Amino acid sequence: MFVVIAYDISDDARRARLAGELENWGRRAQKSVFEFDLDEARYAMLLEQVRCMTVSEDQVRVYRLCKKCVDGSEVVRGVNFATDPGYYQV
């Protein structure tokens, strides 16, 4: 599934830790927006990480997009959407 996470976190250290963790899971689309291509198990693990790394004053939004929604979306400028190619080059 395609997932977008956007956040607004005022604490610099907590924001940097979350950004670093999200970069391990997907691709940064903008400063506080990340894109992911995840299966259900990895999605659950990522949400648990986000919950553990944030506090009640933080604002975090998670959007799950169906294939039809992703296919109907456009990138006007910038790098294309982060999608899993089904293989990884090491």
Name the helix (H) or strand (E) containing 10.
Answer: none
CA distance 45 to 7: 18
CATH number (3.20.20.70, 3.30.70.240, 3.30.1280.10, 3.40.190.10) of 2-71 reads: 3.30.70.240
Name the pLDDT band for 72 (thresholds 50, 70, 90): confident
CA distance 1 to 84: 10
| pLDDT per residue as tens digits for the range 20-47 | 999 999 999 899 999 999 999 999 999 9
- Global confidence as pTM: 0.82
Name the pLDDT band for 18 (thresholds 50, 70, 90): very high
CA distance 90 to 79: 21
Q: Tell me the average pLDDT across 83-89.
A: 49
Domain boundaries, the chain: 2-71
